Amino acid sequence: MATLTRLEAEARARQLTVERYTLDLDLTLGDTVFGSTTTVAFTVREAGDTFVELRPTTLRSALLDGRELDPDGLADGRLPLTGLAEGAHELTVVAEMPYSRTGEGMHRFTDPADGLTYLYTMCCMTEAPKVFAAFDQPDLKAVFEVAVTAPEEWTVLGNGRATREADRPGRWHVAPTPPISTYLLAVVAGPYHSVTTEHAGLPFGLHTRRSLAAHLDRDADELFDITRRCFDRYHEIFEEPYPFDSYDQAFVPEFNAGAMENPGLVTFRDSYVFQSAVTETEREVRGVVVAHEMAHMWFGDLVTLRWWDDVWLNESFAEYLGYQVLHEATRHTPWTEFAVVRKSWGYDADQRPSTHPVAPAPEAVPDTASAWLNFDGISYAKGASALRQLVAWLGEETFLAGINDHFARHRFGNATLADFIDAMARASDRPVHAWADAWLRTSGPDTLAPRTAEGGDDTWRLQLAHHGGRPHRLRLGAYDIDPTRPERVLPRAQYDVELEAADTTSEHAFPGGRPDLLIVNDGDLSYAKIRLDERSWATALRTLSSLPDPLSRTVVWTAARDMVRDGELAPFDYLEAARRHLPSESANVIVSGVLGFAGGALAGRYLPDDRRAEALGLVREIADRLHAGAGGDPTRLLIAARAAIDAADAPDGPLAWWDAGALPGGPELDRDLRWRLLHRLAVLGATDRAAIDAEAAADPGSTGEKGAARCRAALPDAAAKEAAWADMFDGQDRLSNYLFSATAEGFWHAEQRELLAGYVPRYFPAATALAQRRGHALAVSAGRDCFPHPFTDAATLALGEECLASGAPTPALRRALADELDDLARALRVRAAG
């Protein structure tokens, strides 16, 4: 299919405006296609030719101002509209559209638990033409009016309030929307289970498939409480009221993203309807996602980017506000999770060859295919970090004044980076444009490395080496060893400093003697890689868990993680720090994050293959100590259990847990832990297909279906591996997006290198062919989930580089492979550093 370019979009936006889409969708035509009738009212300002996008199974008819167009004119997903005169026009397109199994367009899912079928749309960013005929670009906003014909027992939801016709069972009408972009059109349909309430005069709803009804009902009060609190907080900080007529949140199956901000109808992946025990951090993250998507009602839906170079105007703001508003409006304290998890995602992405500025230049995003690649740790985590720094630099009052000016000037319209920066400049007397150039138009993280020394006259001195070109407003935290308890430190002072936008070393002097521990960027207000001076690092190794603020501890742990990745800290030194401090670490999110790195990339890639078992042994020791000291904390017990299962390298213990239905001392094996444990037993060759099939029969829903696919692919048996490979790559494309990912996650394991070695050269051409057949979402999964991670060697790197050099991978697969190969090369450098 043709890819829309920025130049084409700009030309079409100059040529026409779009007033209204009237859609009529028929969902009763069977399990392969649905009916789609689109009537578009638009006005041409410049006479000439253009096109509308459409990707149907069958184009039945197209009428332009009552004149029939030749259906054979449709090519590469575009229907030409020629000879358009200035003035008003109307296009009506009747087509049959294909259902999707890749989470794009109109996705169709049949629940294996009960045989019921559910549909939902995902129109972002280029998928609207799989649902209706569209001028598919974000700056051609229009009113949408949607009618749907569905089976009588189904519920239909849309961007506005949906009502059922009294005298036509199965016929629904969705209230017209304000002007919105095509990528935000949403329809959800099926026998959904719903929980509803009202708040601030608006209907609020939660929806999921019936097999998850009891789980949604259990969490409905919590979800509604977070939704109401965030809704009210946004109305305290934004002068523009919520711009739509209802607020539904639908938890839908096999969703590719975490969630999608469709106005009035947010769609979430239904794994957020928890079916098993979860940690408090996982509940907190769900709350962040709720707050994030609600922020999009203003940033993205009310005011929309003009072109996809400004993805950050949507995602960075929603990311920042999701964390900040949840922090302000609820009991949660999510900035620690942001520092542990999300910023690490951003730092990693920002050091790969695929890095890009938070706000790339328009010419750097020449088409929608390249725009897809910018939904990453930079647009989300780094962009949110930049905004958090902007708030620290400007002050919250000024920041919010700029935001409200921005909304007032562009409501129900489109805006650019320049528009936003102008709004901030009007609200502030600081050089915002220069700040934006330094923070948003550049790539790569700065590095801040201190050196401390005693000064004269009861002072101490700091030389702070600043590698990078951004200004920073940050906090220095000075700590001293407690003379009565040398395993802990006591806070001495905090110092606020501003660094110029220069690659230089600055000199600072502070009263008192040299501190035992200095933390640069204490409180994590800025975005930069941090180092510790020699004395501070030695103190941290002894006292880290005694730092009073979890954000301070996180800054140190992140610095240690970066040092491992940069070959400056031996992996086993990191493991020793984890062994010493995690059992007494009070913040479970830090425990989980450090264990995840230790048992994942560190043990799996940064250490030589012959030392992996030793590293996993240390992880098991830490898990045992966490378990012993959990004191009944269910989150702590769950973290320890997950780590113990994943690090098991012999079947005896896991088989005993399986037989007992619990780990000694808890927790009991619920659905998720049973599948996790069975997967590990499969990897170790301690179970078989019959046991997997039996477990799937006992768990007949989609969780069991995915768990069984993962476990079957993990069996260390040549026939099982070949069957899994065929399911993924033989061209029949039997697997949905979720089942493909589950199979890929089960396939590669370090314990099975000898069995898997022959698949490494097969992987690159197979992934390339699949990406060309199955589109963006499956291309990303093939490059990320199915990459041969256990093979950290020069031969795999060479094969991957040869694949990239061939020019055959699609843009989405090329980006995923380039990132994975860069990670592989980094791991080889870490191994070489010893």
Asked if residue 537 is part of any domain, the answer here is no
179 and 318 share one domain: no
pLDDT computed for residue 363 by the predictor: 92
Say whether pTM exceeds 0.95: yes
| 630 token code pair | 């959990």
Radius of gyration of the chain (CA): 27
Last residue of a domain, one of 440, 475, 491: 440
Is residue 267 a contact partner of residue 120, using CB atoms and an 8 Å limit? yes
What mean pLDDT do residues 113-135 have?
97
Q: In the chain, what are the helix, strand and coil shares in percent, each to the nearest 5? A: 50, 25, 30
Cα separation of 521 and 503, whole Å?
17
Encoded tokens for 379: 């647009």
Whether 160 and 307 map to the same domain: the answer is: no
Position 834 confidence tier, pLDDT thresholds 50, 70, 90: confident
| Mean predicted confidence (pLDDT) in 87-112 | 97
In a domain, 799, yes or no: yes
For residue 489, the model assigns a pLDDT of: 97
Residues 596-616 have a mean pLDDT of: 96
377: its two tokens: 């740790």
What pLDDT score does 539 carry?
97
CATH number at residue 405: 1.10.390.10
Strands 117-122 and 105-110, by their bridges, are antiparallel
Asked if 157 contacts 188 with a C-beta cutoff of 8 angstroms, the reply is yes
Q: Of 394, 409, 440, which one is at a domain's C-terminal end?
A: 440
Summarised one tens digit per residue, pLDDT across range 126-137 is: 999 999 999 999
CA distance 233 to 236: 5
Band (pLDDT 50/70/90 cuts) for residue 666 is very high
Alpha helices in 381-490 (DSSP H): 383-394, 396-410, 417-427, 432-440
Q: How many domains does the chain have?
A: 3
> Which among 440, 469, 504 is the end of a domain?
440
pLDDT in tens, 684-706: 999 999 999 999 999 999 999 99
Give domain status of residue 737, yes or no: yes
| Cα–Cα distance, 541 to 117 (Å, whole number) | 55
Q: Contact, 291 vs 299, CB < 8 A?
A: no
Any domain includes 397: yes
Q: For 316-343, what is each residue's pLDDT tens digit?
A: 999 999 999 999 999 999 999 999 999 9
pLDDT in tens, 544-596: 999 999 999 999 999 999 999 999 999 999 999 999 999 999 999 999 999 99
The answer to the question of residue 732 being in a domain is: yes
Where is 618: in which H helix or E strand? helix 612-628
Residue 1 has pLDDT above 80, yes or no: no
CB distance 34 to 27 below 8 Å: yes
Neighbours of 391 (CB within 10 A): 18
pLDDT exceeds cutoff 80 at 194: yes
**311 and 166 together in one domain:** no
pLDDT for 703: 95
Long-range contacts at 210-213 (CB < 8 A, ≥ 24 apart): 210/111, 210/114, 210/116, 211/111, 211/113, 211/114, 211/116, 211/701, 212/251, 212/270, 212/273, 212/275
The pLDDT of residue 755 is above 90: yes
Domain with 421 in it: 303-440
What is the distance, to the nearest Å, from the Cα of residue 443 to the centroid of all Cα atoms in its chain?
Answer: 20
**Quick one: average pLDDT of 612-636?**
96
Give the residue carrying structure tokens 């000291």: 629
Model confidence band, residue 609 (pLDDT cutoffs 50, 70, 90): very high
Instruction: Classify residue 314: in a domain, yes or no.
Output: yes
Residue 148 and residue 9 share a domain: yes
Exactly one of 127, 145, 282, 293 is catalytic; name it: 293
Mean pLDDT of the chain: 97
Same domain, 181 and 308: no
Q: CA-to-CA distance for 622 and 594, rounded, in angstroms?
A: 11
pLDDT by residue (tens digit) across 460-507? 999 999 999 999 999 999 999 999 999 999 999 999 999 998 889 999
Structure tokens at 397: 């009052």
pLDDT value for 807: 86
pLDDT at position 501: 87
pLDDT tens-digit profile of 785-832? Answer: 999 999 999 999 999 999 999 989 999 999 999 999 999 999 999 999
Instruction: Specify the long-range contacts of residues 126-130, CB closer than 8 Å, at least 24 apart.
Output: 126/3, 126/4, 126/183, 126/368, 126/372, 127/183, 128/53, 128/182, 128/183, 128/185, 129/53, 129/54, 129/55, 129/77, 130/55, 130/97, 130/98, 130/100, 130/104, 130/105, 130/106
Please check whether residue 815 lies inside any domain of the structure: yes
For residues 1 and 686, which has the higher predicted lDDT (pLDDT)? 686
pLDDT at 718 over 80: yes
Burial per residue of 403-436, b for 16 or more beta-carbon CB atoms within 10 angstroms, e otherwise: bbbbbeebeeebbbbebbbbbbbebbeeebeebb
Indicate if the pLDDT at residue 270 is higher than 90: yes
Is 426 inside any structural domain?
yes
pLDDT value of residue 456: 80
Nearest partner of 133 among 85, 29, 32, 63, judged by Cα: 63
- Kindly tell me if the per-residue pLDDT of 457 is higher than 90: no
Same domain for 169 and 39: yes
What's the CATH number where 11 sits?
2.60.40.1730
Tokens linked to 127? 């998928």
293 tagged catalytic: yes
Q: How far is CA 590 from CA 558, 570, 584, 586, in A?
A: 10, 20, 11, 8
Written as one letter, the residue type at 464 is L
